[in-house]
Amino acid sequence: MDTNKAANPTRGQLERTLSQRIQAFYKERIGHQPSKVTCQLFDEKLAIILEDSITNAEELLLEEGQKDLAKKVRISLDDAIKPKLITLIEEILEVEVTDLLSDSTLETSRTGTIAVLANTPEVRNPESIPKLKKKQ
């Protein structure tokens, strides 16, 4: 058995780690923690969905009829965090991010991000994990 392969995390472990670290990253950098972050790896692509990603300042602007300004604030925030988010993804997946596409919907308070990766991250297949024998 290749011990290096056994040391790799499973796809699910990577997705959970990414979700937790991205949620903490938003809290630390923007001061607003999304209620839920979902990450899904698809070979050389990573989809990230943030629920309740709109900040209180953006919500206030929307309530005051300043939708265009709220959109500009969101675009500016996304642009500002993009390089740091790329670095975070690359550290966790140990794969280069070649492109990062992101958009937010103020009405639903969701942000969707797609990271295009240079390679598929090294993962351990769950079926390679030894199964516990059932007691009879």
The pTM score is 0.84
Contact by Cβ (8 Å): 104, 74: yes
Whether residue 128 has pLDDT greater than 90: no
**Tokens matching residue 34:** 């999304």
Please write the tens of the pLDDT for every residue from 68-118: 999 999 999 999 999 999 999 999 999 999 999 999 999 999 999 999 999
Indicate the pLDDT class of residue 127, thresholds 50, 70 and 90. Answer: low
- Cα 94 to Cα 119: distance, rounded to the nearest angstrom: 10
Q: Which of 18, 11, 34, 20 shows the shortest CA–CA distance to 87?
A: 18
* Helix ranges (DSSP H) in the chain: 3-7, 11-30, 56-63, 67-93
Indicate the pLDDT class of residue 8, thresholds 50, 70 and 90. Answer: confident
Indicate the pLDDT class of residue 3, thresholds 50, 70 and 90. Answer: very low
